Amino acid sequence: MIELRDVHKSYQMGKVEVKALDGVSLKVSSGEFVAVMGPSGSGKSTLMHILGLLDRPNSGSYFLGNRDVTKLSDEELAILRNRLIGFVFQQFHLLPRMTALENAQLPLIYAGNRHLKEKARQELEEVGLKERMFHKPNELSGGQQQRVAIARSIVNNPLIILADEPTGNLDSRSREEIIGILKRLNQKGKTVIVVTHEKEIAIHAKRIIQMRDGRLISDEERQAGACVIEQASLENAMVNETLTKLRHISGEKKFPDYARQAVFAMLSHKMRSLLSMLGILIGVAAVIAMLAVGHGARESINQQLSSLGSNLLLVRPGSSKLHGIALEAGTVTRFTFSDIEEINRLTDMVQSSYGMVSGRGQLVYGNKNWNTEVDGVGSAYVTMRAAEPVAGRFFTEQEVRSKEKVAVLGLTVVKQLFGDANPLGETIKINLINFKVIGILPEKGASAFHDQDDVVVIPLTTAMYRVFGKQYIDAIFIEAKSPELLDVAQKAVSRIIIKQHRLSKDEEDSFQIRNMADIRKTLESTTKTMSLLLGAIAAISLLVGGIGIMNIMLVSVTERTREIGLRKAVGASNKDIMAQFLIEAVLMAFLGGIAGILLGSGISILIAIFAGWNVKVSLSSVLLATAFSLVVGVVFGLWPAQKAAKLDPIEALRYE
């Protein structure tokens, strides 16, 4: 069943080469109970590691069944260790935070046989631990811990049991119990190979091999082997069958078990996991809050621009120059009602238009007064500027023509003059002229520089001839039929103004036409840049959090070196170890990301409440932060996972 042919193994200790095995050739038949003896440094542990596929020889061949396993990959060797070989170590190598049952189940995970976990219960009962299977290693005696290790070694029903000084740390009673268990396993047909330096243990074996200086110096068969040719053939066939199904076995889906192991590792080191998640939590919360502020600013600007109306052109007087001297705005070009009439004739591109004059006015109602902006506008103002009154009505075109003294108030003016009282139908004075309040404008909002609700709107003609004494219009607002017609309408309006006022080439700068779409684009571009800047700053926090996860995971790899070695000994491949550590890193990043989303949303709400900012948490920012946290988990968990996967199982088991 086992055959070594001229196996050599040496280690480099500084500049000195130490030969652990020097030309060892050995055959072990199925069902044998072999004791390997020798002084310390004789090479017996190295021999066991090679037999157990934990190490490779420098030269020579190792046949398991009739297959040379020295040519197999690490992945294939891991599967053979898991399915065909069981290990019992002198130091027990139990995972301290797992119960006896969970330790015994460990090989089942890497075999994809977690559903057979009842088998672990049966094996623990077989070794006399029925009442102690839910106890952790620190609650068990040395003998009980070694029994758990034996149950773990046989849970996958392996062909070979390898025991390295299995009684070295036990008292005499426990020693006898462990030897009794190993003998019973051999009687059931298991091939048992025990490495020991105690003659009291070796005498129970049917064959004793003596080693010295890496060589076999004697091979004594004390009893005839219990195996028969039929059994040996059957087990060799089992070896070959396992080897031929390697690819199938390695493709089994073990993700749920990996996830359980990752969760268990996190719960076992709560503070370390919390510190790992903290960096991601802060980073994601910063991303959510920053993007919410940026998104809210963009929404606020869009709302303010919408209050100005859509598809708008604004025509204002410009400051022209006469003989090189800059003149006051409106000196050359002053708009009149005839300009509006001509513009309204552009029916194929212009929806509507109105003129506006503006100034300051002193408002008086009863014993209260308020100084505010007074705008004289046309009746088209209500539709073009989305100013449908929330209460009352807007003035009509007839009221504009007849210079009626009616007013529509902004909310700020209403609060200052009327408080909670209803202003509709009341009379107020504007610059000592009585006006009847007929409506209340919708809330437009305020910024740090301008309150759009601190305004009174009255008919254009009333403002010009009764309040301000103006003969000319300050500005003309024009609404194009669609955004695509804005540029065409702008050029047409420019030609009309030049023609109406007979402006020469030098006087064409005496008026200005502003396109609100350009203003919108500029502001949106600015807020977008601000959002990206805030997001980039927050992303740096995520990056720092990712580095924190990487550092913690690297520490975790160091702390859990012996655990990694044990997992490899019971059949975990490099891919298994890497997947487990990577899932752990991603899981910490994901949980930190979820907590960060909640914290960031809470911070956004607090900013909105206490700072009065328009803050909005968008689904896209939540998805972005979640995705980013997962990417951080993968990227920064990859190196520690690779480092864990590449650990040599022998060196890992010896790590202190």
Q: What percentage of the chain exceeds 70 in pLDDT? A: 86
Taking 80 as the threshold, does the pLDDT of residue 465 lie above it? yes
Taking 50 as the threshold, does the pLDDT of residue 250 lie above it? no
Among 11-25, 197-211, 243-257, 353-367, which stretch is predicted with the lowest mean pLDDT?
243-257
150 contacts 127 by C-beta, under 8 angstroms? yes
Assign 302 a pLDDT band (cuts: 50, 70, 90).
Answer: low
pLDDT in tens, 470-525: 989 999 999 888 878 888 898 999 899 888 888 877 666 678 888 776 666 776 67
Taking 60 as the threshold, does the pLDDT of residue 249 lie above it? no
Taking 90 as the threshold, does the pLDDT of residue 438 lie above it? yes
- What is the average pLDDT score of the chain? 82
pLDDT in tens, 396-416: 999 999 999 999 999 999 999
**Residue 196 and residue 193: Cα distance in Å, rounded?**
10
Taking 70 as the threshold, does the pLDDT of residue 233 lie above it? no
Beta sheet of 16-28, edge-to-edge order: 16-28, 2-13, 59-64, 67-68
- pLDDT of amino acid 323: 43
Among 326-335, 569-578, 597-606, which stretch is predicted with the lowest mean pLDDT?
326-335
- What's the chain's length in residues? 656
Assign 390 a pLDDT band (cuts: 50, 70, 90).
Answer: very high
Domain boundaries, the chain: 2-249, 265-303+522-654, 334-502
CA distances from 54 to 70, 83, 226, 519, 652 (A): 11, 14, 27, 71, 11
Strands 207-212 and 215-221: antiparallel
Question: Which range scores top for mean pLDDT: 118-122, 259-263, 528-532?
Answer: 118-122
**Residue 298 and residue 149: Cα distance in Å, rounded?**
64
Cα angle 197-199-204, degrees, rounded to a multiple of 5:
115
101 contacts 121 by C-beta, under 8 angstroms? yes
Alpha helices (runs of H) in 166-250, residue ranges in sequence order:
172-187, 199-202, 229-244, 246-250
Distance of CA 128 to the CA centre of its chain: 47
Average pLDDT over residues 321-349: 70
Taking 70 as the threshold, does the pLDDT of residue 154 lie above it? yes
Per-residue tokens: 584: 């752990």
75 contacts 590 by C-beta, under 8 angstroms? no
Strands (E), 503-654: 511-515
CATH of span 2-249: 3.40.50.300
Taking 90 as the threshold, does the pLDDT of residue 423 lie above it? yes
List, in sequence order, every residue forming a beta bridge with 160; answer none if it has no partner: 85, 191
Strands (E), 366-395: 368-377, 391-392
Residue predicted with more confidence, 120 or 326 = 120
The C-alpha torsion from 472 through 475 and 481 to 485, rounded to 10°, is: 110
Residue 633, SS3 per DSSP: helix
pLDDT in tens, 40-81: 888 888 898 889 888 889 899 998 877 888 888 888 888 888
- pLDDT of amino acid 39: 86
